[in-house]
Amino acid sequence: MSSDDGLPPLREVIAELGLSARKALGQNFLFDLNLTRRIAREAGPLAGRTVIEVGPGPGGLTRALLTEGAARVVAVERDQRCLPALERIVAAYPDRLSVVAADALAVSEADFLRPGARALVVANLPYNVATPLLVKWLTARTWPPWYESLTLMFQREVAERIVAKPSTPAYGRLSVISQWRTAPRILFDVHRSAFTPPPKVTSSVVRFDLLAAPRGDAAPEMIERVTAAAFGQRRKMLRSSLKSLGPFSDALIADAELDPTVRAEDVAVEGFAALARGLAARTARS
Ligand code: SAM
């Protein structure tokens, strides 16, 4: 399909640059302009906004974000082989695209923004670092964070864990960390045949909007610790699974007004926030 940005079709760019997809970098490229533009629109409105994109690859989604009106895109790409393709997009959109050649897990995104400015994050994430990146963003120390929303492509199974409700099989750490401060929702599925090369499973685009207030005040590192302990042994009762947090675990459960015989999968997000507050208080005391 031809594009209306004057740039050559992506398949041609890839062939010319000899950009074979690398599995180790989670490279599954999108060439369908209708699809990339749909993702860009769902992340919007983009007019006047700065977008941070992780893993632009040869730039399919990047081009859609620019066509759909983003004022500025900062694209963080680890694979140096993609840089020549991205430089061509920089030339086609003067002053609107900056490419950062780096590992997205290691960058501090706020450094790319004007002080106080907030970005939209949009990405077709590499599946092998999708979860650590999401956790990095959701556990930002400063809240509200440097972003206003996240619109991200995941494997369907990960998306289902993100939006899962308590007492369902997919409910776990990722559900609690996601739903504590944001409202995640699955926008649509993307069949594996839309990617080159096709991954093994269906993907889903998920949008996370910030909640007006978190579902319970707590420090992110404490939420991480209590959910790791509780879901590390998800079939056990809380009174057993939380023992690893310290000798005060029974008191922690009582203070949070939780039943010690319930399992982690039956505890609501607010319950984990209460446990996290208690853990912070007891850690500070000891
Ligand atoms: N956005 C492109 C698209 O939709 O066609 C490519 C998406 S592909 C699923 C993931 C991209 O993330 C690849 O270009 C890969 O090189 C890049 N990537 C993988 N690990 C990365 C990391 N740690 N930091 C930045 N980019 C990474």
Q: How far is CA 47 from the centre of its chain?
A: 22
The predicted structure's pLDDT at residue 2: 47
Q: Which atom of ligand 1 is nearest to the CA of 25?
A: 19
Question: How many other C-beta atoms lie within 10 A of the C-beta of residue 164?
Answer: 20
Query: Domain map of the chain by residue range?
Result: 10-210, 220-285
| CA dist 249 → 245, 260, 275, 278 (Å) | 6, 10, 9, 10
The predicted structure's pLDDT at residue 78: 97
Distance between CA atoms of residues 164 and 162, nearest Å: 6
Which of 31, 52, 54 for a ligand 1 pocket mutation test, highest count of atoms within 8 Å of Cβ? 54
Residues 59-118: pLDDT tens digits? 999 999 999 999 999 999 999 999 999 999 999 999 999 999 999 999 999 999 999 899
The predicted structure's pLDDT at residue 286: 65
What kind and span of H or E run contains 163? helix 156-163
Q: Which atom of ligand 1 is nearest to the CA of 103?
A: 24
Which residues in the chain come in under a pLDDT of 70?
1-3, 286
Q: At what angle do helices 60-67 and 83-92 cross, to 10 degrees?
A: 10
- The angle subtended at Cα 81 by Cα 157 and Cα 192, nearest 5°, is 25
- State in Å, rounded, how far the first CA of the chain is from the last one: 63
* Nearest alpha carbon, ligand 1 atom 19: 25
E-state strands within the chain: 29-30, 50-54, 72-77, 97-101, 119-124, 147-155, 182-190, 195-196, 203-210
* pTM of this structure: 0.96
Query: 104 C-alpha vs ligand 1 centroid, how far in Å?
Result: 9
The predicted structure's pLDDT at residue 3: 59
Which of 27, 63, 112, 154 for a ligand 1 pocket mutation test, highest count of atoms within 8 Å of Cβ? 27
CATH of 10-210, one of 3.40.50.150, 3.20.20.70, 1.10.150.170, 3.40.50.2300: 3.40.50.150
CATH topology of domain 220-285: Helicase, Ruva Protein; domain 3 (1.10.8)
Q: Ligand 1 pocket by C-beta < 6 Å: which residues? A: 25-30, 54-57, 60-61, 76-79, 82, 103-105, 124, 126, 129
The predicted structure's pLDDT at residue 5: 82
Q: How far is CA 273 from the centre of its chain?
A: 21
Distance between CA atoms of residues 213 and 94, nearest Å: 38
Query: 256 C-alpha vs ligand 1 centroid, how far in Å?
Result: 41
* Nearest alpha carbon, ligand 1 atom 18: 55
Query: 33 C-alpha vs ligand 1 centroid, how far in Å?
Result: 18
* Nearest alpha carbon, ligand 1 atom 21: 78
Using alpha carbons, select from 102, 117, 162 the residue that is nearest to residue 135.
162
* Nearest alpha carbon, ligand 1 atom 5: 29
* Nearest alpha carbon, ligand 1 atom 14: 57
* Nearest alpha carbon, ligand 1 atom 23: 103
Q: Do domains 10-210 and 220-285 have the same CATH topology?
A: no
CB 29 within 8 A of CB 60: yes
